[in-house]
């Protein structure tokens, strides 16, 4: 399963560039099956500060993963894909 984390948008303070909100998406692909999630994470001022112009997507992804729990998100997506592969409920009619 291939998992991709993306930062879609950042919100920051106009005065000093402090990033306060990150909008993210995570997509997992396993063959023909795909699962994804989108959300926002709030950030608070930390002891270390990276200037906005010097931030990388990798920096912010690591913050999001730390807040959400990388393994938890990826396990949830894996469970969604597993449910697509082996649906717990089947639909249809016998005729």
pLDDT in the model for residue 48 = 81
- Read off the pLDDT band of 47 (50, 70, 90): confident
pLDDT in the model for residue 32 = 97
| Domain ranges across the chain | 2-85
Nearest-angstrom CA–CA distance, 5 and 41: 13
Examine the pLDDT at 39 and tell me if it is beyond 90. Answer: yes
Average pLDDT, the chain: 95
- Read off the pLDDT band of 69 (50, 70, 90): very high
Is the CB of residue 22 less than 8 Å from the CB of residue 63?
Answer: yes
The pTM for the full model equals: 0.88
Is the CB of residue 37 less than 8 Å from the CB of residue 44?
Answer: no
Backbone angles phi, psi at 49, to 5 degrees: -130, 125
Q: Pick from 69, 62, 55: which is nearest to 18 by CA?
A: 55
Examine the pLDDT at 24 and tell me if it is beyond 90. Answer: yes
Torsion angle of C-alpha atoms 50, 45, 70, 24, degrees rounded to 10: -80
**What SS3 class is residue 56?**
coil
């Amino acid at each position: 399963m291939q998992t991709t984390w993306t930062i879609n948008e950042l919100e920051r303070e106009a005065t000093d560039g402090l990033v306060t909100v990150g909008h993210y998406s995570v997509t997992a692909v396993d063959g023909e099956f795909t699962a994804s999630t989108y959300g926002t994470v709030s950030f608070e001022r930390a002891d270390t500060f990276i200037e906005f112009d010097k931030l990388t997507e990798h920096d912010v992804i690591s913050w999001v993963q730390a807040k959400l729990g990388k393994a938890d998100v990826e396990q949830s997506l894996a469970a969604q894909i597993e449910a697509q592969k082996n649906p717990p409920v089947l639909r249809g009619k016998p005729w």
